[in-house]
Chain A
Amino acid sequence: MYSSGKICLPIAVVLLAAVGGLAGATEPGSFGYGSVATPAQIAGWDIDVRGEDGTGLPPGKSTVDRGADVYAEQCAACHGTFGEGEGRFPKLVGGVGSLRDERPEPTVGSYWPFAPTLWDYINRAMPMSAPHTLSADDVYALTAYILSLNDLVPHDFVADRNSLPKVKMRNRDNFIWTDPRPDTMAKPCMNACVDAADVRISSTAEGRDLTPRTTGPLDTMQPK
């Protein structure tokens, strides 16, 4: 609608040529902006750990007992002494065998597929108010402790870059990593698509008292 077909075609040809030209021409460094990242700079930020094989786990190690101490000090206030979760903060244990229930409880013990991911997440994101301030050893200690709370490792387990990838997580084999969608095949019927007599309301939000107000100041409501 912005141009007639006649004008459109030559523009498309020119555009294609230009894109092709650019793609062919770009050599690494052709803009030359910025600086090459030095090994020291990279080392400071290169914190990622791969869940499946633990690639990226640093040197260091620690025990379940040491983990219990660090946990009591740094984590228990939110996650509960034994990982049961305070208030609405997430549980770190439990829910084993619940994934098919009406109210499943996905946790490290019941849901997480890979143990090195636990090291990675504690290291990058916890404790909530001071993330990425723990030593590698303490992150190993906490990982060992949380795994042991979940009966995934024995009490004398020592966590390090070799032992963590070998921990067999309960839910490891239950993930499908290729998206099967689209998984619905609705047809765009226009008339008399369902029998009007079959149209009934199966649930309503009316009167549930869960919805904060949407006018006036922000609501602080809690469900009754």
Chain B
Amino acid sequence: MRPDPLRSKAVLSDLAGPNAPVVRRSFLRLGAALTGSLALGGKAAMADPAQGSPPADAPWSQSIGAGVVDRPYGRPADTEASVIRRNVPWLTASAESSVSFSPLQDLHGIITPNGLFFERHHAGRPDIDPAQHKLMIHGLVERPLLLTMKDILRFPSISRIHFIECPANGGMNWRAAQMNSLQFSHGMVSCAEWTGVKLSTLLEETGIKKEAKWAMVEGADGAHMNRSLPLDKCLDDCLVVYAQNGEALRPEQGYPLRLVVPGWEGNVNIKWLRRIKLGDKPWHSREETSKYTDLMPDGTSRGFTWLIDAKSVVTFPCPEKPLDGPGLYEIRGLAWTGNGKVRRVDVSMDGGVNWQTARLHEPVLSKALTKFTLPWRWDGRPALVASRVIDETGYVQPTIAELRKQRGSNSVYHNNSIQTWQVKSDGSVFNVQLG
């Protein structure tokens, strides 16, 4: 496709939607050269690499290490400095209304470490004083409430593991394979154990008037981010949380309080939650009209498309983690669905001609990332590696061609298509689409 002069205007909140850049191929290769840096290859402080390996006793084995509370709040090893959230500088007009991607290529389980959870802000990250933060619940309730953080912590607590995915995850690949990276093609999904109060507990405490059908949920950030949610979903499984993986929420994730709407698009999981108002109709806020609606080829748009459909991706190999010569490998990946549990994941090495069922790793939890693996003896020949998830409703993850047939390629959001990685005979890996 041709370079587009409008490109420099790629609208930030479109996250590379209709106006996303599609640039002419250049011959600059991003391949193995950039992606070959593995954890072990870091700049370990050794002039002589043999110094730390047998038969030599390593320097760190012949000296004393740092004491406890040397790092009162721990941090990763210095050699892991590359494992960070990253952004796409050309994507958005400002870092305050933007997104960062989680480094899935370096994560090994279903839980995203708190410092690596993807970010999506619309007016930057506020730094909130929890002593002043309040949650107001009002509208069609019997008894409007104002709760402090102390009050919220007294309610019966609940912990649940759930993923959150921005529906624009993969949006840059609607038109064509664009991002040659797992981090940038799939890194807007993360998963954590959330602890807080059931939203239903809070709403029962206020009392719900009969006419109430919807809730408006709103953040305390500068965007005053607000969305409408059907009351049924609020009472079903929504959580008002103050903790993430056992510690207080990170400021980027809504400290001191956020909403978790299991299995539904990231944007409705309101961060810095300050207000819930019950009403009889939806609000049609800007974030559910101008944005987070899906434009179809016939010019109509779908609204209130909250559900995250089943999706999976192979996380090894991937562009960042190429193969190191023929031999036995373990294909690894993640699968998730907003519809409950992952039932099965199949993997193909030949672009979808034949599939093999992968092993799912416990725990397989509802609306949580699920890990899968499959052993693979690579013969060194070019391969097309892909995964396909089937969720507990029987829904099968579609190909990008099947999705485009229904939705064209301008709908920005909800691209849950099968991801194909092209493995070349030198082991390098590229993001490709088949058709």
Chain A residues close to B by CB (< 8 Å): 1, 26-31, 33-37, 41-42, 45-53, 78, 85, 87-91, 99-100, 103-106, 108, 111-114, 117-118, 120-121, 124-125, 128, 131-132, 171, 174-184, 186-196, 199-216, 218-224
Contact = CB atoms under 8 A, between A and B. Distances in A.
B305 A179 contact: yes
B21 A176 contact: no
A30 B207 CA distance: 10
A147 B301 CA distance: 21
Contacts of B181: 205, 211-212, 214
Given A103-B19, A187-B396, A199-B384, A211 B90 contact: no
| Interface-central residue, B295, B320, B353, by most chain A CB under 10 Å | B353
A184 B402 contact: yes
Contacts of B23: 208-210, 223-224
Contact of A188 (B31, B87, B122, B388): B388
B114 to A, nearest CB: 19
Contacts of A202: 433-435
Interface of B: 4, 6-13, 18-19, 21-23, 25-31, 34-35, 37, 82, 84, 86-90, 92-94, 96-97, 103, 105, 122-123, 136-138, 141-148, 151-152, 154-155, 176-181, 183-184, 201, 204-207, 216, 218, 222-224, 226, 274-275, 277, 279, 281-286, 289-290, 293, 295, 297-307, 309, 319-320, 344, 346, 350-356, 362, 384, 388, 390, 395-399, 402-403, 406-407, 410, 414, 422, 430-435
Contacts of A199: 350-353, 384, 434
A37 B146 contact: yes
A35 B146 contact: yes
A128 B281 contact: no
B12 A31 contact: no
A223 B253 CA distance: 30
Given A31-B154, A206-B25, A211-B179, 11 more contacts: A30-B205, A34-B148, A46-B277, A50-B282, A85-B9, A88-B92, A90-B12, A188-B355, A190-B355, A209-B23, A219-B86
Contact of A223 (B21, B34, B398): B21
B285 A204 contact: no
A190 B354 contact: yes
Contacts of B105: 214
B21 A210 contact: yes
Listed from nearest, the 5 A-B pairs whose CB atoms lie closest are: A28-B207, A51-B284, A202-B435, A88-B93, A205-B180
Contact of A177 (B27, B303, B346, B407): B303
Contacts of A34: 145-148, 151
B294 to A, nearest CB: 9
Nearest to A48: B216
A36 B396 contact: no
A89 B10 CA distance: 8
Nearest to A125: B223
B103 A36 contact: no
A223 B19 CA distance: 14
Given A46-B138, A184-B406, A223-B90, A208 B222 contact: no
A201 B433 contact: yes
Nearest to A52: B284
B355 A189 contact: yes
A184 B290 contact: no
16 contacts: A37-B137, A52-B281, A78-B93, A85-B9, A87-B8, A88-B11, A103-B6, A105-B18, A114-B289, A131-B123, A171-B301, A175-B289, A201-B433, A208-B26, A208-B180, A209-B26
Contacts of A176: 300-303
